[in-house]
Amino acid sequence: MAPDQKRANKGEAQTPPPGDIVSVAEVKAIADCRIMAKSFGKDHKDVLSAIDRLKDRLSRIKSPMAQNGALGLTEKRAGADRFFELDREAFALLAADLDGDEARKFEYIIAFSAAEATLKGRARAADIKRRRAEPLHAESIFGTPLRYFASPDGKGLPWTSGDDLARVFALSVNESAAFHRAIETAVAFGHSAPATITTADGPVRIVSHPLALELIETFPFHRPGEPDAKKRIVAGYVLGGAAAMRRLFSHLPPAARHAAALAAHHHTWEAVAEALGARGRSRFHS
């Protein structure tokens, strides 16, 4: 007689669907031996006896594999009753001892795979969330936000959104294409490679401070009625960078924060306007 028919004759509840057999607990997929008993048409006490025999065998086998199997058996209590949660490996060992049909075993394997896929999806989502970058600061220049982010390695000066710079410049189509080519070929001219980061607004291409200076020097600005557009962009870039650095150093103790901000300001942002005025035409000029 088929196991399902045996259970029906005993007046037992129907077997839980495969999705209920295995659940997600913390960071792994587990099977509850109480549900296993129902699924295989066994009394729970008989399943507990099988687990005890399994534990006894594992305790007498001195090997990493056996030890890992034992770790997959977690004893729990529900009042006076005990039960076990089993991982995939422990389930495979126990299923060999239970007189269940192959369909039941196959349902478990499918359920474990589905639960583990759910865990992997959660892990990917958590990783994306961890890597999602928030701007250190956004400086409004001509009504366009210029965002600053921590450098990809978490060290050094803030990096800037290249796309934001292009919007601040109000470049033509051809100029915009040349601008983005300049960013992508930056490494060939001694600059740090640009990086793509994930933000709440989607992916953002960021560039290092030296490359941002190169771009500001090189590309024209199209701001009708703004004869001092370049000065305003430089001033906005300096102000935004200083604010981003203050945020970047905010975790340091007051004395160290002041020293770091002062050094960075003195050696970098304070000299931007002077550096732009002193340098010749850029190698990136299109």
Domain boundaries, the chain: 3-131, 137-278
Cα 39 from Cα 17, distance rounded (Å): 9
CB atoms within 10 A of CB 170: 17
- What is the average pLDDT across 93-108? 73
Provide the whole-model pTM: 0.49
Cα 181 from Cα 195, distance rounded (Å): 14
Q: Which residues pair with 204 in a beta bridge?
A: 197
209: pLDDT strictly greater than 90: no
- Looking at per-residue pLDDT, the higher value among 249 and 147 belongs to 147
Collapse the DSSP code of 11 into the 3-class scheme (helix H, G, I; strand E, B; otherwise coil) and give the result. Answer: coil
283: pLDDT strictly greater than 70: no
Contacts of 282 (CB under 8 A, 6+ apart): 214, 217, 218
- Phi/psi-derived region of residue 159, left when phi > 0, alpha when psi is between -120 and 50, beta in every other case: beta
- Looking at per-residue pLDDT, the higher value among 231 and 5 belongs to 231
* Residue 26 banded pLDDT, cuts 50, 70, 90: low
Tens digit of each residue's pLDDT (9 = 90 or more) over 101-143: 677 777 777 777 777 777 776 776 666 555 567 898 999 998 9
Q: H or E stretch including 255?
A: helix 254-267
Among the ranges given (141-155, 200-214, 263-277), the one the predictor scored with the smallest mean pLDDT: 263-277
Question: Do the beta carbons of residue 59 and residue 154 sit within 8 Å?
Answer: no
Among the ranges given (10-14, 202-206, 210-214), the one the predictor scored with the smallest mean pLDDT: 10-14
Cα dihedral 140, 143, 146, 147 sign:
positive
Residue 256, pLDDT score: 67
